[in-house]
Each structure stands twice: as C-alpha cells, then as structure tokens.
Structure 1
Amino acid sequence: MFGGGGEDVVVPRAFKLLKELEKGEKGGAGLPPYLSYGLADADDDDDLTHWTGTILGPAGTTLDMRVLELSIECGERYPERPPEMRFRTRVNLPFVRNDGRIDLAALGVAQAWRRNNSIEDALNAVYHAIARPEVRRLAQPPEGARFD
C-alpha cells in the first residue's frame, strides 16, 4: 500500500532540487524578499549541482542593502548533507573563510541539517547570522570587492 505503515517517503535528489529550482525562479511564492537563488547554468547542469544565490544585506548592518553574491554547490550527497556555499562578494564575517567559503558548522547549520532542509534554509541561516549583534557592525570591504 502506497504511503502506508508510517514510513517516510524519500524524495529523490533530482526531484527535490527541481522543486527548489521552481521556488527559486518564482521568487514571490513564499521566498523571503531578501533571498534569491537558481542554477548557475541551466543549459549545462543536468545534475542540478551548481547554483548561484543572492542575499540582500540586512537593514541596520554594515552590509545594509548590498547585494551579496554566492556560489552554491549541491553535491551528490545533497540533500543528506547541506550545500557548500561560498561568497563571491567579498565580506568580513566570522563564519567566512579567507577564500569566501562559508563555515556552515560555525552557524549550526551542518549539525541541525535534515534531508527536508533546502538551499533557502542555508541562505536564511547566513542572512540571520549577518544580522547578529556581534556581527552587524563589523567593518566590510568596499562595495564591489570580490573573492573571485
């Protein structure tokens, strides 16, 4: 019997990512206005691995209203493991390494990650970390500076 026995249905990686892509492309369908994401190259990424995202810097921070660009990689272990994320826009944040890679473990995302989490959840965690009191006033590189 389909769906019986209280078993959780495991949605295949590709189906989950297609659903995330649809939400990211539609934007307004429940996506916070300060986030956006989609495939980096829809014509050349059949595995739905390479994504790009943007975060609008939180109000009242030193990144207020800046458009922060990120590259996102949903490896073959996604969604069991969180995506790897890297800022392309140069930022000075305690959870961002010198090459722009985001330390999701430092944000608590890696430890709390569940299969039903999404790219949106990971981006939201970064957004909220930027707005933390101990981070919000950190000096930032000039607008337009990049890691890559």
Structure 2
Amino acid sequence: MSKIPRNFKLLEELEKGEKGLGAESCSYGLSDPEDMTLTHWNATILGPPNSTHENRIYSLTIECGPDYPEKPPVVRFISRINVPCVDFKTGCVLTSRFPLLRNWKRTYNMEILLLELRKEMATGSNRKLTQPEEGDVF
C-alpha cells in the first residue's frame, strides 16, 4: 500500500477544514494562507456540554512538522485550560499524558486530534476541574 505524501494529506485536511465538512465541535485552518509548507495551523474546540468547559471556545495552535503524518503534530492551547494532559505553564499538550499523541498513527488527522482532546475534557475526572477565568491565555 502506498503512502499519501505529507502535502497531499495536509491539503486534504485543509480542504475539509475550510469547507467545514468535519465535526461541528471543532475547527481548524492554516494560520497564514500563504504558508506553502502547510506547517502552522489554528484550531478551536467548543467546550463539551455538562462540564466546566461548557459554553467556552478554546483556541489552539497545531504545528505539523516535516515528518507529519508519520509523527504527531505539536499542539498548544492558547486559551488557558486545566486538564492533566496540558502543561499549565506553556499550554502544550503533553505527549506522555495524551494517549492519541503517544500512540500516534499516520491515519490520524487534526480533526481526530481535536475531537479526542474534547473527549478528554469531558471525561469524568476532567469535566469538573476548576478552570482559569474565561479569556485567560498562555
């Protein structure tokens, strides 16, 4: 089975993100439309209902390095959030504490990543954690 080249995969993700064809609870797109390397992305996650995240919109950055999709992207929250898989000082999603990044597969994509982060926010142990003031950023 042949592997889809990095840029083809990212162009596919860009098209899906720009057309809003994915999940309604998250969105993503290039930070700079002129970024021909398709490296730097912005994303948002709508906080899951029935949790301390409800009615919040979390902003993130995603960096797809030259080895993406073989290796996971670097994900960083811009909006302050309190969940164990996110470094409280930098906002970086910690690979060691987030199973999807730790067990990354080339078939994963940004939408799956964002949905898994949202799921993590809604887990029993994380849904009631006290959160920073809305609007706080890293």
The TM tier, using the shorter chain, reads over 0.9
Output the TM-score relative to the length of structure 1.
0.89
* 1:109 to partner: Cα distance: 0.9
CA distance in 1, matches of 2:27, 2:96: 22
Aligned-residue Cα RMSD (Å) equals 0.9
Count of residue pairs brought into register by the alignment: 137
* 1:9 to partner: Cα distance: 1.4
1:62 and 2:52 are equivalent in the alignment: yes
Which structure would you say has the larger Rg? 1
Counterpart contact for 1:129–1:135, Cα < 8 Å: yes
Structure 1: runs of 5+ lacking an equivalent: 1-7
Moved >6 Å (runs of 4+): none
1:25 and 2:25 are equivalent in the alignment: no
Identity %: 44
CA distance in 2, matches of 1:111, 1:139: 26
Structure 1 residues 6-37: Cα deviation after superposition (integer angstroms, max 9, x where no partner): xx11111000000000000111x2x1110100
CA distance in 2, matches of 1:61, 1:83: 27
Q: Which residue of 2 aligns with 1:52?
A: 42
Q: Which moved more, 1:112-121 or 1:85-94?
A: 112-121
1:74 maps to which of 48, 64, 74: 64
Q: Which moved more, 1:104-113 or 1:9-18?
A: 104-113
Higher relative contact order (CA 8 A, sep 6+): 2
**SS in structure 2 opposite 1:105?**
helix
Q: Which residue of 2 aligns with 1:5?
A: none
Output the TM-score relative to the length of structure 2.
0.96
* 1:112 to partner: Cα distance: 2.6
Q: Which moved more, 1:108-117 or 1:47-56?
A: 108-117
CA distance in 2, matches of 1:142, 1:111: 29
Structure 2: runs of 5+ lacking an equivalent: none
